[in-house]
Amino acid sequence: MIVEGKALVKKYSENQGLQDVTFSLNEGRIIALAGGNGAGKSTLIRLLIGEEKQSSGEICWAGERSISYMPDDINFPTALTAAEILQLLAGLKKVSAAEREKVLKRVGLWEYRKQKVSQFSKGMRQRLNLAQSLLGDERLIVLDEPTNGLDLLWIAELKTILQEQKQIGRTILFSTHLLSFAEELADDVLLLYEGKVLLEGSIHTVLDQAKCNHLEELFMKKVGLTKNRNV
Ligand X SMILES: Nc1ncnc2c1ncn2[C@@H]1O[C@H](COP(=O)(O)OP(=O)(O)OP(=O)(O)O)[C@@H](O)[C@H]1O
Instruction: Report the interface residues with ligand X, using CB under 6 A.
Output: 12, 14-15, 17, 35, 37-43, 177
- Find the shortest distance in angstroms from Cβ 115 to ligand X: 30
- Measured from the CB atom, the residue of 37 and 226 that comes closer to ligand X is 37
Inter-axis angle of helices 122-134 and 152-167, to 10 degrees? 0
Q: Are strands 140-143 and 171-176 parallel, antiparallel or unpaired?
A: parallel
- Find the shortest distance in angstroms from Cβ 35 to ligand X: 5
Q: Are strands 3-11 and 16-25 parallel, antiparallel or unpaired?
A: antiparallel
What span, in angstroms and rounded, lies between the C-alpha atoms of 48 and 88? 24
- Measured from the CB atom, the residue of 37 and 230 that comes closer to ligand X is 37
- Find the shortest distance in angstroms from Cβ 105 to ligand X: 31
- Find the shortest distance in angstroms from Cβ 96 to ligand X: 35
- Measured from the CB atom, the residue of 15 and 78 that comes closer to ligand X is 15
Return the closest-CA partner of residue 142 out of 154, 156, 132, 150. 132
- Measured from the CB atom, the residue of 80 and 150 that comes closer to ligand X is 150
- Measured from the CB atom, the residue of 11 and 159 that comes closer to ligand X is 11
What span, in angstroms and rounded, lies between the C-alpha atoms of 1 and 200? 14
What span, in angstroms and rounded, lies between the C-alpha atoms of 23 and 32? 12
- Find the shortest distance in angstroms from Cβ 160 to ligand X: 25
Do the beta carbons of residue 100 and residue 89 sit within 8 Å?
no
